[in-house]
Chains A and B, each alone.
Chain A
């Protein structure tokens, strides 16, 4: 029954919007094909290991990661995030008050589609909306405090499977489809899409990096990147992908960034949260 409704909605959306005309929105079918592609291409990688990105692809890297993860450099961010979470705003409320279960163990539910605004709410957007609703300044989307808060939230959610829902709402399906489009669209002077690296070439080297598989790629975020010498958020990860192909990055909280995270996280449904992560 549910599937029939989704299909019906998809058809309506498909006819209403020229963008979607020859591409009926079918997240479940996409999900199956996506999962099949990665598990068939990397039969030796256990499904839950995809969330470990390049370490699931390269034994040498993995050994260094295990050495580093014995006492990982993101611990300071997790602690800072924990403090920030408990610290009262000027109005006496806290970040914890904005979230279900006081924000503990809920990272796997993000991004969420918000029926009120008709938009996708990523964890980072939710944090800033919480701050603004309480008369506090929003955080920089890239790193520092935003990375600390989300690192703490991810840390308390480790091991919980991604549970992204695409409700029966044409706006949600459109956001999902736009996210998919963003993921596969070539951009920048180098003419690369996200998929060029993370679907067509995971495990291969581009310049100096071992490319991570797209499957589960949002599960480890935020990450401490040695190349950055510090923490970075999902926004920072997307922005750096853009600039690496000589595309101008979008602003944090941009609709397209929300949508692509929605798409990728839906593709990762069932895979465990592994963030915060450590990456080369």
Chain B
């Protein structure tokens, strides 16, 4: 199942992008049921690309909530264009998804 959910909607010249990513975002300050600290496990970088250009980069620490959400807007997107989202976390895991602008 994809970890990335994205909704990109164009209105006039502006494309509003909302994205939700499934990730535990463990802060490293929480203990499990056995009293052991759960090591930090969080997304570090999320990149949004349109037309071969990066339109937004998120740099995240462990204080971003579990299943993180982000919203931003950029100019120049058109209905039907590709928008690519990709992330990488501190353990080197990655995922990516290409969505169509609506």
Interface residues of A (CB under 8 A from B): 68, 70-71, 73, 75-76, 79-80, 83, 229-230
Bound Cα distance A71, B18 (Å): 7
Q: Is the CB of B71 within 8 A of A76?
A: no
Q: Chain B: which residue is nearest A230 at the CB level? A: B66
Tell me whether A71 and B20 are in contact in the complex, defined as CB-CB below 8 angstroms, given that A76-B67, A229-B66 are known contacts.
yes
Given the complex, which residues of A lie within 8 Å of B67, measured CB to CB?
A: 73, 76
Tell me whether A71 and B69 are in contact in the complex, defined as CB-CB below 8 angstroms, given that A79-B1, A80-B1, A83-B1 are known contacts.
yes
Given the complex, which residues of A lie within 8 Å of B71, measured CB to CB?
A: 70-71
CB distance from A140 to the nearest CB of B (A): 15
**Secondary structure class of chain A's binding surface, majority of residues:** helix
Interface centre among A68, A70, A71, A83, by most chain B C-beta atoms within 10 angstroms, is A71
Interface residues of B (CB under 8 A from A): 1, 5, 7, 18-20, 22, 66-67, 69, 71
Interchain Cβ contacts under 8 Å between A and B, 12 examples: A70-B18, A71-B5, A71-B18, A71-B69, A73-B66, A73-B67, A73-B69, A75-B5, A76-B1, A79-B1, A83-B1, A230-B66
CB distance from A238 to the nearest CB of B (A): 21
Q: Chain B: which residue is nearest A83 at the CB level? A: B1
Bound Cα distance A79, B67 (Å): 14
Q: Is the CB of A71 within 8 A of B19?
A: yes
Given the complex, which residues of B lie within 8 Å of A229, measured CB to CB?
A: 66
The 3 closest A-B pairs by CB, nearest first: A71-B20, A73-B67, A71-B18
Tell me whether A76 and B19 are in contact in the complex, defined as CB-CB below 8 angstroms, given that A70-B71, A71-B5, A71-B69 are known contacts.
no
Given the complex, which residues of A lie within 8 Å of B18, measured CB to CB?
A: 70-71
- Given A70-B71, A73-B20, A73-B66, 13 new contacts (CB under 8 A): A68-B69, A71-B5, A71-B19, A71-B20, A73-B67, A75-B5, A75-B20, A76-B1, A76-B20, A80-B1, A83-B1, A229-B66, A230-B66
Neighbour of B22 across the interface among A70, A76, A83, CB < 8 A: A76
CB distance from A68 to the nearest CB of B (A): 8
Given the complex, which residues of B lie within 8 Å of A79, measured CB to CB?
A: 1
CB distance from B102 to the nearest CB of A (A): 14
CB distance from B4 to the nearest CB of A (A): 10
Bound Cα distance A139, B1 (Å): 20
Bound Cα distance A83, B1 (Å): 9
Bound Cα distance A70, B7 (Å): 10
CB distance from A78 to the nearest CB of B (A): 11
Given the complex, which residues of B lie within 8 Å of A68, measured CB to CB?
A: 69
Given the complex, which residues of A lie within 8 Å of B22, measured CB to CB?
A: 76
Q: Chain B: which residue is nearest A79 at the CB level? A: B1
Bound Cα distance A231, B24 (Å): 13
Given the complex, which residues of B lie within 8 Å of A75, measured CB to CB?
A: 5, 20
Bound Cα distance A105, B5 (Å): 24
CB distance from A180 to the nearest CB of B (A): 36
